[in-house]
């Protein structure tokens, strides 16, 4: 099967011309990664105090590694959604020891768990609402800590604006950096290797279950991954592989690894999803949207497990 040489979309999903490019890639100019990197580094140099979102995944660790090169005052915050894999917690703790930045765990875990339960039971992606909840908490914490910039590990699959306006603004620190560059940055600065859990995620346990529930593995998720390849963030040959839904065996393994660290309600929800997938029962209504991605007892649970 022919695939677009730039974004990896198969010919069953996009019209591919004699030049090997799909229609979208042909009309999309190549990104200027050097210019994006310059804008990111300029924003970091101009910041006095940064609040950095640290989730233990590849992108947030790379953002931390880059930020400490340019900013003296960095406060790393892990929003405890209840969905982080124990290895992600371990990497957060290790990165904090290596960089010696201030690290705090915050969140309203019960609200995130309710969100995951309600969305997964309706076969809807929780990623968009979860990201918005995290951003609201980051902005609140940034104002409380007098940070003049929020830094996240996001890249920019669409457009070239590296700063999201707001009070304070949010810097997408991985704009212009390929996955290979991020891995090198994390190894060089932190001495950490970051394997993937499933698909594209290296920290979230919920995302593979949401991906498995999607009725069309070549739907919106494939388009999102193709956009990332189009802008040079992942390799084109990886697009269809990453878009494939995880198998029940993989989900079962993730539950076994993360189960003791997950909030009980979230663990039950993921067990329900796995049972629905393996029993062949109707997963529910179709997915209605593309997928993407304050101290509490749950937060201290995650932090203590990570430190151990």
Q: What is the pLDDT of residues 24-44, one digit of tens each?
A: 999 988 889 999 999 999 999
215 secondary structure, DSSP code: S
Q: So what's the pLDDT on residue 185?
A: 97
Confidence tier at 1 by pLDDT (50, 70, 90): confident
Query: Containing H/E element for 135?
Result: helix 127-144
3-state class (DSSP) for residue 171: strand
Q: So what's the pLDDT on residue 281?
A: 62
Per-residue CA distances from 36 to 49, 171, 214 (Å): 21, 11, 33
What residue ranges do the domains of the chain occupy?
Answer: 1-30, 32-307
CATH of domain 32-307: 3.40.50.620
The answer to whether the beta carbons of residues 89 and 305 sit under 8 Å apart is yes
Taken in order 150, 153, 154, 155, the sign of the CA dihedral is positive
Residue 308 clears pLDDT 50, i.e. is over it: no
Residue 238 clears pLDDT 90, i.e. is over it: no
pLDDT tens digit string along 252-284? 999 999 999 999 999 999 999 999 999 876 555
Q: So what's the pLDDT on residue 157?
A: 65
Q: So what's the pLDDT on residue 217?
A: 53
Q: So what's the pLDDT on residue 66?
A: 98
Give strand pairing partners of 152. Answer: 172
The answer to whether the beta carbons of residues 306 and 90 sit under 8 Å apart is yes
Residue 199 clears pLDDT 90, i.e. is over it: no
Q: So what's the pLDDT on residue 234?
A: 86
Per-residue CA distances from 72 to 58, 66, 141, 275, 303 (Å): 22, 12, 18, 49, 24
Residue 7 clears pLDDT 60, i.e. is over it: yes
Give the integer Cα–Cα distance in Å for 9 and 236. Answer: 8
Q: So what's the pLDDT on residue 224?
A: 82
Residue 137 clears pLDDT 90, i.e. is over it: yes
When pLDDT is averaged across residues 243-260 and rounded to a whole number, the result is 92
Q: Is 46 left (phi over 0), alpha (psi -120 to 50) or beta?
A: alpha
Q: Where are the beta strands (DSSP E) in the chain?
A: 49-53, 73-79, 102-106, 149-152, 163-164, 170-172
Q: So what's the pLDDT on residue 89?
A: 98
pTM reported for the whole predicted model = 0.85
Q: So what's the pLDDT on residue 73?
A: 97
186 contact partners, CB below 8 Å, separation of at least 6: 58, 61, 62, 65, 192, 193, 194
Residue 301 clears pLDDT 60, i.e. is over it: no
């Amino acid at each position: 099967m022919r695939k677009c040489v730039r974004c990896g979309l198969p010919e069953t999903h996009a019209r591919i011309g004699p030049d090997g490019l799909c229609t979208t890639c042909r009309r999309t100019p190549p990104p200027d990664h050097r210019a994006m990197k310059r804008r990111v580094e300029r924003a970091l140099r101009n910041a006095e105090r940064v609040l950095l979102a640290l989730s233990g995944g590849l992108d947030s660790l790379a953002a931390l590694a880059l930020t400490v090169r340019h900013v003296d005052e960095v406060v790393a915050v892990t929003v405890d959604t209840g969905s982080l894999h124990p290895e992600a917690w371990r990497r957060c703790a290790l990165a904090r020891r290596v960089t010696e930045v201030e690290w705090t765990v915050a969140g309203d875990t019960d609200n995130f768990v309710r969100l995951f339960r309600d969305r997964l039971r309706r076969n809807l992606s929780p990623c968009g609402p979860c990201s918005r909840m995290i951003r609201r908490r980051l902005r609140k914490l940034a104002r409380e800590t007098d940070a003049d910039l929020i830094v996240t590990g996001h890249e920019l699959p669409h457009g070239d604006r590296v700063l999201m306006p707001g009070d304070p603004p949010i810097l997408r620190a991985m704009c212009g950096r390929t996955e290979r560059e991020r891995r090198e940055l994390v190894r060089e600065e932190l001495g950490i290797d970051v394997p993937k859990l499933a698909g594209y995620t290296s920290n979230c346990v919920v995302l593979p279950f949401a991906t498995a529930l999607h009725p069309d593995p070549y739907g919106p998720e494939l388009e999102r991954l193709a956009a990332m390849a189009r802008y040079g963030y992942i390799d084109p040959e990886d697009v269809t592989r990453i878009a494939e839904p995880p198998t029940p065996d993989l989900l079962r393994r993730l539950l076994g690894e993360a189960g003791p660290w997950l909030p009980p309600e979230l663990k039950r929800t993921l067990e329900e999803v796995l049972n629905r997938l393996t029993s062949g029962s109707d997963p529910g209504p179709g997915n209605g949207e593309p997928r993407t991605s304050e101290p509490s007892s749950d937060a201290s649970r995650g932090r203590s497990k990570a430190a151990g």
